[in-house]
Amino acid sequence: MKKTKFIFITVMSMILALTLSGIGQSSKASAATARTPVVFVHGLGGSDSNFIYIESYLRSQGWSSNELFAIDLPSKQGNQLLNSAAISQFVDNTLSETGHTKVNIVAHSMGGANSLYYILNRSGASKVDKLVTLGGANRLTTTTAPTGIKVTSIYSTSDTIVSPALSRLDGANNIQISLVSHIGLLLNSQVNTLIKTALNE
């Protein structure tokens, strides 16, 4: 009886010790994902589902699902203050979940301007490694690529929604293509290849 009681107390002590050892530990991922996580930012009237085709392509090229994150912005009208705050929180959550210190952002249309606003005005510069914009309304926020971030601006001469002149940024890798519409930038194999190249640089 005494021996059984001793064993019970010993086991309970071990369980208690293991439980207490976890208190105060960070919920951050114990090991970083293989690749820098990618955050997708949509444009006016868009949603996180806009990037399904691009996400599928990147998965076929070696990215895993837990490295790809698409945000659904609160302001579908592109409000810079609301959306940049949402991007800031989303990026922080992504970093915590993946164990990385930086993300790469792929943004479409007004998502480019919102992402640049986040980088320039909400301390995003230290948390973003690469920014790739697709028909980005970039110059609504700045005319110059942020320092320390590799920016690639992909735009089409056939875009009738966002002028190429609005997408080009001084200091960015500006890539002009043709025969692709504004929405088509989200569904084009050539654009997908350019995105992959930009993310791998």
As annotated, the active-site residues are 109, 159, 182
In contact, 37 and 94? CB cutoff 8 Å: yes
Q: What is the pLDDT of residues 63-122, one digit of tens each?
A: 999 999 999 999 999 999 999 999 999 999 999 999 999 999 999 999 999 999 999 999
Q: What is the pLDDT of residues 3-18, one digit of tens each?
A: 444 444 443 444 333 3
Enter the pTM of the model.
Answer: 0.85
Q: Which domain holds residue 180?
A: 37-200
Residue 139 lies in a domain: yes
Report the half-sphere exposure of 52 (CA within 13 A, side-chain side).
4
What is the residue whose two structure tokens read 């949509």?
42
Check which CATH number belongs to the domain holding 158 and give it. 3.40.50.1820
